[in-house]
Amino acid sequence: MTEFEPRIIVFACNWCTYAAADIAGTSRIQYPPNVRTIRVMCSGMVAPEHISLALESGADGVLVAGCHPGDCHYISGNLKAEEKFRMVSEVANMLGIENERIRLKWIAASEGPIFAQTIKDMVQELKKLGPSPFRKSQETGWEKAALTLEDILQDTKAYYCLECSKCTSICPVTKYDPSYSPRTVIENAALGLRDESTHDKKLFSCLGCYACSLKCPSDVDYPIFMRKLRSLAFESGECGCPAHGGLLHSVVRLMSRSPYKQKRLEWLTREYQTSDHSDILYFVGCIPYFEPIFGYLETKTLDITRANLKILNHLGVQPMLLPDEKCCGHDALWTGDVETFRRLAEHNTRLIKESGVQKIIFSCPEGYRTLKLDYPEQGFELGCELQHISEFVAEKIEKKELKFKEVRRKVTYQDPCRLGRHLGIYDSPRKVLEAIPGIELIEMEKNRECALCCGTSAFTNCDTYSHEMRVGRLLEAKATGAEILVTTCPKCQIHFKCAMNNKGEEKGPDINIEVMDLANLVASALE
């Protein structure tokens, strides 16, 4: 058998490391031929998704190399590269990918021998590790069901569309971006215009918020229609305009194909009681990954999971946590990547079944919706009860098993689309809020079925209109006079915080409001 030869991609800064590699050549320093260099102008140009996509493509190792601090041709690009690299390393580490597979190194133009040595070292280390599990050749293909436009129309009964345009008139995306129209999307599909239907970046602007379907006189399930259309588009290579360079989608794809054990529970301290024999599972979701990725917004998303555990422990529940739980697949499914979704669903279903739990509790409405509705629909039966934390807490309140101390705050509540319109859960979170003495709940103008989305779904097509939508919602929240905007979805929180962080926003202080997850508010009110 021939020895395994690692394949390494180097992103080399034009001014330093690329020159160092040339110097190694001029000096005829011999190093292993396992490296393929991509020249970039500055290491600061190397985006996190470049690294993760290189890993996805099957690189056994990735080296990002630039100028030493203080020597950057562009003043500080290398320092920015370092920040981004640190974030990617943290994410990769959480995925369980060995540290040796991705490296950052400063190599100056004169340091040809160092370049050669770095490659030698990397090749040696990677040989010890063996081939990347993400190499394409190592994969087994997934059987794809051939889908046509006609199938989608049939499945979703979108042909019942009366062209009344109620959907377009209620669509929050259309309100801010008039070039988007759900009705037109359906019409194009009904006319059989496959290219117009699939090769359209706006296809990925739909939030799947269900505002339209609730008004549709023909009961067309537009979000599901849209989701299926996206899977068709995905097959033709369309993915809209992924936010954050597509890093989040790439991480999920890596996770779906990864044989590594994740290190996603490192935040879990002894303070919290969990049990491997519990009947109740707490589904953590993607929150641990959000922490480094959205660190720049200073969102402390892990505080939400901590608060959930605190609540459960307070109620005498020592839940089970799955150390190798994977993404629920929501974003993959809603961006048309059915293959990735199925891998994830299969993995999670197996894990949950093996765990033998009776009940799963969610702090993320997307995970809840996906496991409750989409897993069974795609043939993944879990065979246990599912609940959102707000439902669980509301139940306990009803049974008088839970009492709160006083918290004197005025709050308003954001119904996340997945919890509200998707699953019809409007009352539980409100019951919980009303049970806390001192809390005054003031509803926004648009609430419950009419609530507005936070502006982005499945981390795709986050543009200026998404931002406007968030600003609109925040203004509504401020208009209530509330001090806190309470939500039950970590993504809502990220999106609102992003909007408030927006330097281009002239409304600035007018939209600033404390955003808090219901779990955090509940945890703070525990006696």
Binding site for another protein (CB under 8 A): 7, 9, 14, 18-19, 21-22, 24-26, 28-31, 33, 36-42, 44-50, 53-54, 57-59, 70, 72-77, 80-81, 84, 116, 135-136, 241-246, 296, 462-464, 466-468, 498, 501-506
Q: How far is the CB of 399 from another protein (least distance, A)?
A: 44
**481-to-116, 199, 244, 411, 454 alpha-carbon distances in Å:** 63, 44, 33, 8, 19
Q: How far is the CB of 506 from another protein (least distance, A)?
A: 7
- Which of 136/399 has CB closer to another protein? 136
Asked if 496 and 454 count as a contact pair (C-beta separation under 8 A), the reply is yes
Q: How far is the CB of 68 from another protein (least distance, A)?
A: 13
Q: How far is the CB of 400 from another protein (least distance, A)?
A: 46
Asked if 414 and 454 count as a contact pair (C-beta separation under 8 A), the reply is yes
Q: Parallel, antiparallel, or unpaired: how do β-strands 409-414 and 439-441 relate?
A: parallel
Q: How far is the CB of 26 from another protein (least distance, A)?
A: 6
How far is residue 475's CA from residue 133's CA, in Å, rounded to a whole number? 48
Q: How far is the CB of 78 from another protein (least distance, A)?
A: 10
How far is residue 110's CA from residue 20's CA, in Å, rounded to a whole number? 6
How far is residue 27's CA from residue 502's CA, in Å, rounded to a whole number? 50
**407-to-161, 210, 439 alpha-carbon distances in Å:** 49, 34, 6
- Which of 49/476 has CB closer to another protein? 49
Q: What are phi and psi of 8, to 5 degrees?
A: -115, 130
Nearest Cα neighbor of 366 from 444, 297, 285, 294 is 285
Q: How far is the CB of 453 from another protein (least distance, A)?
A: 15
Q: How far is the CB of 516 from another protein (least distance, A)?
A: 22
Q: How far is the CB of 476 from another protein (least distance, A)?
A: 19
Residue 359, H or E segment: strand 359-362
How far is residue 328's CA from residue 323's CA, in Å, rounded to a whole number? 14
- The number of residues in the chain equals 527
- Which of 7/228 has CB closer to another protein? 7
Q: Identity (one letter) of the amino acid at 128?
A: K
- Which of 58/133 has CB closer to another protein? 58
- Which of 50/306 has CB closer to another protein? 50
User: Using only C-alpha atoms, what is the Rg of the chain?
Assistant: 25
How far is residue 88's CA from residue 489's CA, in Å, rounded to a whole number? 24
- Which of 76/154 has CB closer to another protein? 76
- Which of 92/397 has CB closer to another protein? 92
Sign of CA dihedral 193, 195, 200, 205: positive
- Which of 420/455 has CB closer to another protein? 455
How far is residue 146's CA from residue 143's CA, in Å, rounded to a whole number? 9
Sign of CA dihedral 281, 286, 292, 297: negative
3-state secondary structure of 13: strand
Q: How far is the CB of 53 from another protein (least distance, A)?
A: 6
- Which 8-state DSSP code applies to residue 3? P
Q: How far is the CB of 73 from another protein (least distance, A)?
A: 8
- Which of 239/320 has CB closer to another protein? 239
- Which of 40/226 has CB closer to another protein? 40
DSSP 178-224: TT--HHHHHHHHHTT-HHHHHS-GGGGG-----TTTTT-TT---HHH
Asked if 121 and 34 count as a contact pair (C-beta separation under 8 A), the reply is no
- Which of 135/144 has CB closer to another protein? 135
Asked if 39 and 125 count as a contact pair (C-beta separation under 8 A), the reply is no
Q: How far is the CB of 349 from another protein (least distance, A)?
A: 30
Asked if 453 and 469 count as a contact pair (C-beta separation under 8 A), the reply is yes
- Which of 14/313 has CB closer to another protein? 14
